[in-house]
Amino acid sequence: MHSSADSAQRPPQKTLAHGLRARLLPLVSSSKAAALVRVHSGSHDAPIAYPGLAHFLEHLLFLGSRNYSAAEGLMPFVQGCGGQLNASTRERHTDFFFQLPASQFEEGLHRLVDMLAHPLLDPEAQLREREVLHAEYLARAQDAETLCDAALGCAIDPPHPFGGFHAGNRSTLPVEDPGFQASLRGYHCRFYHTGQIELLLAGPQDEGVLQRLAEQMDAGLAAHPYVSRKTLPLCANANAWFRLQLSNAQPRLHLAFALDQLPERAGPALDYLSVWLASEAPGGLSQRLREAELCQSVKLRTPYWCAGQGVAVIELLLTERGLDDRAAVVDAVLDWIAFFSDDARWQPCREEYQLIRERSLQNAEPLARLRYWVEPQAWGLDSDEAEIRQALRSLTAQMLAAPPLVLTTDMSDCPPIETCGFPLRLKTEPPQRTAPAAWHWQQPAMNPWLKPNIARREAVDITPALRWQGPEDMSGQGALFLRWQWVHGQSSTALWHAVAHALQPAAWAAQQAGVTLRFEDFGSAWCFRLEGFAEAIPAILSDTISVLSVPPAEAFAEGVALANRDAALGNDEMLIRQLLKHLPRRLTNAAEVDGQPAFIGPGSLSRRWQSAQWSGLAVGFAPSLGGPLADAIYSLPGTPAVIPTDHSKPAAVKRWHDVRGDGATAETGFLLFCPLPDRTAKCEASWRLLARVIEADFFRRLRSELQLGYALFSRFCQFGEQAGMLFAVQSPRASAKEILEHVVKFLDDSAVKLADQADSEAERAARQAGNQHVDSRADFRAQAEQAWQCLQAGHELDRSAEVAAEMRMLQQQDLMAAMDALRGDDASWVAVANAPAPDLSWR
């Protein structure tokens, strides 16, 4: 069995012949491979005259290179393989990363090195991409966290670049100017070479193969030495209090610490501190502040961190009382930091922290591991604990030496201020004072799920409502899925929010123990999932059933508030993500029986559970875990039942859900979900393949050519029992009606393109997709997810193999038939948008 200690071994770094630094991580049991490139230059290294140039170049690298056109490059290639890909420009580094089936890894790396070394930087493509980047700027100008960081930058003493504008927009990127073009190419030449780049590779290939692939990357890049850059002192306006006006956002308090001249191990020391700051453990900071009705959650984030300096922000989601008494919150946080920095906390907390990190790495996907190990000084088994302890002393001493910057964000009226970047409504405030409270902090209780103490035994009798799928997973993973179906209609979203809110501490503790806990609302059903370290799952389920059945009384009032906030659409989260949370509930025709009640309580939930029938699936568990799991299952609310699935065809209607609520936003969000027209394996296979074939074209047409917006995608997906095609667009300039017209036009044009393509091309894509659909079953989480989707849709557990077999045999006419069904007048479409329906053809 793969141990957590193996996962915590830091992959050694080696310097290759031309200067590229590489870390190689062979993962024998994985079906996927991943690559991450870190270029040691970022937005703070761009010419001052052209804010956003580094970010702009990151975008441009995906738009074609010497050996691969934009249509053949890394992004469409990874999308066509069903993989994932992204890039990120930070202050002092830029990351490019992807994950895909291991069989396609080398082809992906060829594209990656070519786009890094030989980008086309075509002027026409630059003009189009500038509009995409400007759309991203407009979206970020609505984002609460972005505006908060911009406001904090106003308190940092110049000339440190943290206070500057680096995202870029239409006005800062004069593509037509020869001087800008010279700077763009000069920046690429200065930083995109072996001396400035780290490469991390992970996959099932042996180390020799990964070494060969790394050497190919090393040889394909220009060879130059490392370019050192000067770091300016980081100083802040001490004891400054600010207020930032944000519409439709929950009140938050941000305590910002400007840190400089930190020791080398300050990175893992800060990560260690952040784990305990955000801890939901009994007796911890978050729970004590919640009990005092001052705040709902605490987290630490670092908008800037480089070369021994950084800005660390402790963010607290405030209650009304906390908003009125912010000085008490500030005092409590600083008092807790002083308590936690005491040497008496170190030993017990350090041991638990190590277990948490080991567990998080144990079953992480290849890309997640690379993103962990790329961080300098990330904790590993070889870390020098004494140096981290000393760094923690230095870190907390700086945090306590001077008052933090205090930023309140809420809907209070503030005047607009002049900025060269994001628009801010900001004002200074006199610092509040409060009498220090005696908090009497205690050591947080240890997470019991990190070392579950269970008596293993096989199950004697398990209800048929819970399906078991074996064999035991040899890496120690398990997955448990439970679904409650409401016998009478649909549940109240307020009740779901109440239960979900009450489950937050359990979700936090489960994540530490290597288990992902998710609780989902599908309108006519609720779904509870536990996936990860199998040995912990019976204990987690047993301990959370009481919260599911009878949440604390205060959770019900919070449920109503959260449901109302959910309906209003706010600025706390990206618009398209908010709509995606609404979509699953809108796919059912059942009416919401409770509406949005002004009051809910234990009686409301008890009646819901009495009318609920549950079914589930357990995947990958050892037989000796069957007994503890069966004991926990026995106590579930509701009635176990093998629930028949509705096999009727979706109604041939077009439904539109306007979810604007009371919220107002400058952008338009639009989702279009098209459910499968029938339940056959061939229909599912052809739609899955069609989704993969058109995904890259959809992205390129709407994002690059039409420049509708920054955030958009299309893919095949399943919500509860409903599978189908999803199109999603967030746009700063197009209306929902215009977006719909563009989607329809894209589908019409795609049908023409399909008709003109060679039969052999469709057959090749079908074989590749079918093979990958089967290969993905070697990945435990993909296997478990496929099995659960099959059961929810009313299929047998061998459905995915049947779909893969059908996929391999698909031909050109099958793809065209799928496209016709998707576009037909009798197709069932469900739209969700923050806008009214465009005409009366929509219900």
Give CA–CA dist 46/55, Å, rounded.
9
Pairing of strands 525-533, 515-521: antiparallel
| Residue 58 among the catalytic residues | yes
Angle between helices 799-808 and 681-699 (to 10 degrees): 70
Rounded Cα distance, 352 and 275, in Å: 10
Provide φ and ψ at 560, rounded to 5°: -65, -45
Exposed, middle or buried, 647 (CB in 10 Å: 0-12/13-18/19+)? exposed
C-alpha span between 409 and 253 (Å, rounded): 7
**H helices present in 292-363, as ranges:** 320-324, 326-340, 343-362
3 state SS of 530 = strand
* Residue 159: cis peptide before it, omega within 30 degrees of 0: yes
**Is-contact 544 513, C-beta < 8 A?**
no
Could you say which DSSP state residue 437 is in? P
Instruction: Give the closest residue to 319 by CA, choosing from 252, 383, 255.
Output: 252
Residues sharing a CB contact under 8 Å with residue 159, sequence separation 6 or more, in sequence order = 232
Decide if 341 contacts 396 (C-beta within 8 A). Answer: yes
User: Whose CA is closest to 303, among 245, 264, 257?
Assistant: 257
Q: What is the dihedral of CA 134, 136, 142, 148, to 10 degrees?
A: -100
Distance CA 42, CA 89 (A): 6
For residues 315 and 321, give the distance between their C-alpha atoms in angstroms, rounded to a whole number.
16
Bridge partners for 626 per DSSP: none
726 beta partners: 673, 715
Pairwise CA distance, residues 136 & 709, whole Å: 7
Which tokens in the block code for residue 547?
């919260």
Q: Which residue among the candidates 58, 131, 684, 806 is catalytic per the annotation?
A: 58
List Cα–Cα distances, 303 to 54, 92, 237, 245, 300, in angstroms. Answer: 17, 12, 17, 20, 10
d(CA 710, CA 715): 17
Which DSSP string do the residues of 685-727 spell out, in sequence order?
HHHHHHHHHHHHHHHIIIIIIS---SEEEEEEEEETTEEEEEE
Enzyme catalytic residues? 58
